[in-house]
């Protein structure tokens, strides 16, 4: 069951892209379709981590050369991430262990500053990390209001409008579902949220590798990402409006200034992984320069914009091909927006089941054929229940990124057809 290769897909420099990722060429070969759990990294990321550990494995803030170099690395990485997100200033970026820890840090601060506005809006589309951290504020007097996903796997702004009140303190939502791939219109959500004087917290972890993020255009108030989803090492970063970050109360040691980003960078994080994150962004910049036919600087916002637009366009083709191929195989159920024409309203993350075959059995069969996918609730058990699925066995998820190919999709479709035929 072959996917149809779109003619325009040849304009994307897929051969060069795949050359950058050593893991794609290991033996035995693996088709990495579990990128929603963490993507592979380019060689330059490995080099950056290695160089940091070899040349400047020191604590920041010292007066000797290696320590000063750490300060420089962190400063340059902060500037790179600020450019990647189009932040107004590098000081709006904080580095840490992961996105979940930043979610909790912000939720604790919000909990201390609820005031008269005690309503928190959360969704059942989200990763559990962006649900449980806000539910934990109920003990501080927060009132939780649910923005419910519809049966098509999408959240609708008109439903949010019915929930917002003058007492809404914050709306927390994802930018793209890590389970079923639905993409949300964050700008429209921000407009509705701000219309009642509330703030918007965005989980951009799953969207991060798939398209352009512009925090000024989105008009949200806080946003978190995970570096290891965006072709970097394990780390996370937080963006927030500077005034909002400075205003929130946080735990900090007495000698730490009560301003961003220092007040949010609790303890020592993994400096070499921050260096690796900067290298990942430089890879994206180089990709952008290539799709712009070599014009401009690989380190600027314009190159990153070009890269993420090119990735988005290429991945829409991947989504369309995958959905079209699955539609031709009997007994496959794809959850959420499942038509090839829906490709521009989702990322190439497809959640599905194969008849009555257990999701675990499907993933094991695919793993034996060198295709890495995932089964379970995808850290979204509430969404699974909403879709009528068990929150333990859940479904199968194939999550693609821009280094994946039509040929790899064909391999997946072939094996799924074999599973169906063997029933």
Name the 3-class secondary structure at 307. Answer: helix
What's residue 12's pLDDT? 96
Whether residue 110 is predicted with pLDDT greater than 80 in this model: the reply is yes
| Paired sense of beta strands 168-174 and 119-123, if any | parallel
DSSP 2-40: PPP--GGGGGS-HHHHHHT-GGGG-SS--EE-BGGG---
Whether residue 259 is predicted with pLDDT greater than 90 in this model: the reply is yes
What's residue 9's pLDDT? 40
Least confident of 217-226, 227-236, 287-296, 314-323: 287-296
**18, 403 contact by CB (below 8 A):** yes
| CB-CB neighbours of 35 under 10 Å | 24
Name the 3-class secondary structure at 337. Answer: coil
Alpha-carbon 142 to chain mean position:
27
Q: Specify whether domain 46-281 bears CATH 3.30.300.30.
A: no
The pLDDT-based confidence of 151 (bands split at 50, 70, 90) is confident
Whether residue 296 is predicted with pLDDT greater than 90 in this model: the reply is no
Q: Is 86 exposed, middle or buried (0-12, 13-18, 19+ CB in 10 A)?
A: middle
What's residue 252's pLDDT? 87
**251, 275 contact by CB (below 8 A):** no
Single out the residue of 144, 177, 230 nearest to residue 337, CA to CA: 177
**238, 96 contact by CB (below 8 A):** yes
| Residue with more model confidence, 9 or 82 | 82
Q: Give span(s): CATH 3.40.640.10, the chain.
A: 46-281
How far is the first Cα of the chain from the last one, in angstroms, to the nearest whole number? Answer: 17
What's residue 294's pLDDT? 73
Domain topology for 7-43+297-422: 3.90.1150
Beta strands in 124-165 (DSSP E): 143-147
Tens of pLDDT, residues 88-102: 999 999 999 999 999
Tens of pLDDT, residues 135-150: 999 999 999 999 999 9
What's residue 7's pLDDT? 37
Whether residue 368 is predicted with pLDDT greater than 80 in this model: the reply is yes
- Mean pLDDT of the 46-67 span: 97
| Residue with more model confidence, 246 or 253 | 246
Whether residue 413 is predicted with pLDDT greater than 60 in this model: the reply is yes
**What's the CA gap between 262 and 110, in Å, rounded?**
18
Single out the residue of 41, 397, 99 nearest to residue 237, CA to CA: 99
- Mean pLDDT of the 186-200 span: 98
**What's the CA gap between 181 and 323, in Å, rounded?**
12
| CB-CB neighbours of 173 under 10 Å | 22
Mean pLDDT, the chain, whole residue set? 95
In the chain, what percentage of residues exceed pLDDT 70? 96
**What's the CA gap between 393 and 383, in Å, rounded?**
13
In the chain, what percentage of residues exceed pLDDT 90? 91
**What's the CA gap between 278 and 74, in Å, rounded?**
9
Single out the residue of 71, 27, 26 nearest to residue 52, CA to CA: 71
Q: Give span(s): CATH 3.90.1150.10, the chain.
A: 7-43+297-422
| Paired sense of beta strands 119-123 and 143-147, if any | parallel
| CB-CB neighbours of 301 under 10 Å | 18
- Mean pLDDT of the 39-52 span: 98
Q: Is the dihedral of CA 18, 23, 29, 30 positive or negative?
A: negative
**What's the CA gap between 399 and 25, in Å, rounded?**
19
Whether residue 298 is predicted with pLDDT greater than 80 in this model: the reply is no
- Mean pLDDT of the 317-324 span: 98
**What's the CA gap between 384 and 395, in Å, rounded?**
8
- Mean pLDDT of the 327-353 span: 96
**174, 184 contact by CB (below 8 A):** yes
Alpha-carbon 258 to chain mean position:
29
**What are residue 106's DSSP bridge partners?**
none
What DSSP state is assigned to residue 92? G
DSSP 347-372: -SEEEEEETTB-HHHHHHHHHHTTEE
| Paired sense of beta strands 349-354 and 332-334, if any | antiparallel
Tokens (6 digits) for 25: 């060429």
What's residue 6's pLDDT? 39
What's residue 10's pLDDT? 43
């Amino acid at each position: 069951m072959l996917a149809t290769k779109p003619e325009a897909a040849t304009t994307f420099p897929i051969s060069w892209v795949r050359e950058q990722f050593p893991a794609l060429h290991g033996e035995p070969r693996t088709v990495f379709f579990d990128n929603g759990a963490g993507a592979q990294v380019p060689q330059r990321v490995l080099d950056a981590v290695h160089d940091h550990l070899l040349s400047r494995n020191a604590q920041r803030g010292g007066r000797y050369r290696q320590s000063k170099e750490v300060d420089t690395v962190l400063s340059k990485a902060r500037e790179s991430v600020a450019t990647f997100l189009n932040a107004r200033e590098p000081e709006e970026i904080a580095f840490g262990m992961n996105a979940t820890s930043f979610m909790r840090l912000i939720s604790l601060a919000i909990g201390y500053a609820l005031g008269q506005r005690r309503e928190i809006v959360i969704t059942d589309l989200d990763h559990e990390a962006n649900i449980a951290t806000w539910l934990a504020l109920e003990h501080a007097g927060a009132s939780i209001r649910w923005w419910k996903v519809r049966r098509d796997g999408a959240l609708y702004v008109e439903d949010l409008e019915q929930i917002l009140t003058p007492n809404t303190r914050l709306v927390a939502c994802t930018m793209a579902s890590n389970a079923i791939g639905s993409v949300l219109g964050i700008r429209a959500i921000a407009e509705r949220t701000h219309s009642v004087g509330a703030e918007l917290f965005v989980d951009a972890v799953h969207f991060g590798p798939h398209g352009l993020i512009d925090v000024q255009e989105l008009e949200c108030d806080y946003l978190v990402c995970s570096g290891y989803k965006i072709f970097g090492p394990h780390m996370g970063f937080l963006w927030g409006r500077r005034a909002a970050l400075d205003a929130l109360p946080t735990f900090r040691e007495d000698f730490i200034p009560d301003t961003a980003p220092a007040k949010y960078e609790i303890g020592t994080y993994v400096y070499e992984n921050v260096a690796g994150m900067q290298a990942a962004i430089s890879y994206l910049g180089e990709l952008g320069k290539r799709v712009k036919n070599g014009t401009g600087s690989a380190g600027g916002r314009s190159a990153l914009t070009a890269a993420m637009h090119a990735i988005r366009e290429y991945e829409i083709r991947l989504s369309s091909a995958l959905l079209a191929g699955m539609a031709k195989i009997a007994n496959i159920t794809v959850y959420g927006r499942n038509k090839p024409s829906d490709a521009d309203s989702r990322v190439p993350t497809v959640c599905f089941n194969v008849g009555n075959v257990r999701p675990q059995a499907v993933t094991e069969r695919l793993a034996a054929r060198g295709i890495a996918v995932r089964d379970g609730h995808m850290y979204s058990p509430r969404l699974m229940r909403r879709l009528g699925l068990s929150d333990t066995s859940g479904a199968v998820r194939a999550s693609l990124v821009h280094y994946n190919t039509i040929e790899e999709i064909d391999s997946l479709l072939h094996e799924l057809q074999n599973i169906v035929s063997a029933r």
